[in-house]
Structure 1
Amino acid sequence: MAITTPRTWVVGEVVTAAYLNAEVRDQWLDVLAAWVTYTPVWTGATTNPVLGNGSLVGRSKKIGRLVNFQIDLTMGSTTTYGTGAWSITLPFQAAASSGSRVGNAQALGASRFGGQVVVSPGANGIGAFFPASSAVSNYSSAAAAVPFAWANGNELRITGCYESAT
């Protein structure tokens, strides 16, 4: 059950167990429920990557229009990395609010790079950004060679929070 708009009570209305269950218990059950998995889609700006024997798992927890999400991408021995900036789909479309929202990203290979993700207004997907190399501090879009040449066993971990469109 998803969280619903609370009812408007009227003077003299009798509070019943059914009302309390719907208005209080069921709302809290939704808030306390476990995160749910979803299947993200990984694309490249020019040529799409191919997951091969890697894994890509998304999880989210939506409370009202607030969405918390996690994405874990692990490269396999048959994964190909495509060309151009990568994008990964979100569990729900972002609200068309003003300004972008920022989440965290980690690239784990021989080195660990901290980066960020940007959820743009109305977006269905996100891009991860990392320093282009260990010699620079400005961020570039994650791609086949950013922040390093991705290989079997490397991981991209993403977490964030944003307002959904619905």
Structure 2
Amino acid sequence: MMDAAGADPSVRGADWRLATVDTVGSDGTVTTTDGIVARRSDLYLRPLAGDLVVITASGIGSWLAVCRLGSGTGSTWTSYPAVWSTSGTAPVLGNGTLSAAYTLRGDECRVSIRQVMGSTTTYGTGQFRWSLPFTAATLPNPIMFWTGSAMAGDAGAAYYSGNCRLISGNNLVMCINPSTATGSSSTEWNATRPHTWGSGDYLGLDLTYQIA
């Protein structure tokens, strides 16, 4: 912890250091645990209390929160609790596994989701959906969407490639199988598409989109 003189940039001149966020303001600022109020740069999105950040000061005492630092292994990927749902009766993951992570670069969000079905997994009714860490920005044409890649594995017996789609202004991503997979037309994945799902089957999807 710096003393009062050490925290005053007019004493030591322009400087930068590390700080921990205590509170997040509604005016684009954060307040650190030692009382510094700093305006966020446009690279520091979705601030949270507890973030370890780089802050820098001008010679006249204006503070800027430049960016959030990585933690743990230093990876920029952050895990989040994705939720698997359907457009009808809810599925149950049971003893299956679902993992999801994202990384931010400005307002660009990259997401990776992986799921393995278990012996007690049930698949509900309707089309599969997975939640995203942030809501997508609204495109000029609201019926437009972002697209990514998707792949399903039928317990190693067969593989089906497809696309995933995120509708403008939404926070749910869905997968679509091409006409070359099971079924005569391109349509969203469900309990029987792109194959009938069972224990040991798995899927992965990757998507890049602009956050709101």
Q: Specify the TM-score bucket, using the shorter chain as the normaliser.
A: 0.7 to 0.9
| Offset at residue 97 of structure 1 (A) | 1.5
Alignment partner, residue 202 of structure 2: 155
CA separation of 1:75/1:135 partners in 2, compared to 1, >3 Å: closer, same or farther? Answer: closer
Alignment partner, residue 68 of structure 1: 110
1:90-129 → structure 2 map (5 Å cutoff) = 90-98=132-140, 99-109=144-154, 110-129=157-176
> Counterpart of 1:154 in structure 2: which amino acid?
D
Out of 80, 84, 87, the position equivalent to 1:38 is 80
Alignment partner, residue 12 of structure 1: none
Bigger-Rg structure (1/2): 2
Q: Distance in 1 between matches of 2:183 and 2:128?
A: 20
Structure 1 or 2: more strand by fraction: 2
Q: Distance in 2 between matches of 1:155 and 1:135?
A: 16
How much is the aligned-residue C-alpha RMSD, in angstroms?
Answer: 2.7
8 Å Cα contact 2:94/2:118 also seen in 1? yes
Q: Distance in 1 between matches of 2:163 and 2:109?
A: 17
Return the structure number with greater relative CO, CA threshold 8 A, min gap 6: 1
Normalising to structure 1: TM-score of the pair? 0.80
Alignment partner, residue 9 of structure 1: none
Q: Distance in 1 between matches of 2:184 and 2:79?
A: 33
Q: Where does the alignment leave 5 or more consecutive residues of structure 1 unmatched?
A: 7-16
Q: Distance in 2 between matches of 1:36 and 1:96?
A: 24
Q: Where does the alignment leave 5 or more consecutive residues of structure 2 unmatched?
A: 1-20, 22-39, 44-54
| Offset at residue 23 of structure 1 (A) | 6.5
1:8-87 → structure 2 map (5 Å cutoff) = 18-19=56-57, 26-27=66-67, 29=69, 33-87=75-129
Aligned residues: 152
| Offset at residue 105 of structure 1 (A) | 0.4
Deviations 1:81-106 (A, max 9, x none): 11111111011000012321110000
Q: Distance in 1 between matches of 2:57 and 2:184?
A: 56
- Give SS of 1:123's match: coil
Deviations 1:37-65 (A, max 9, x none): 00111111111110000011110001221
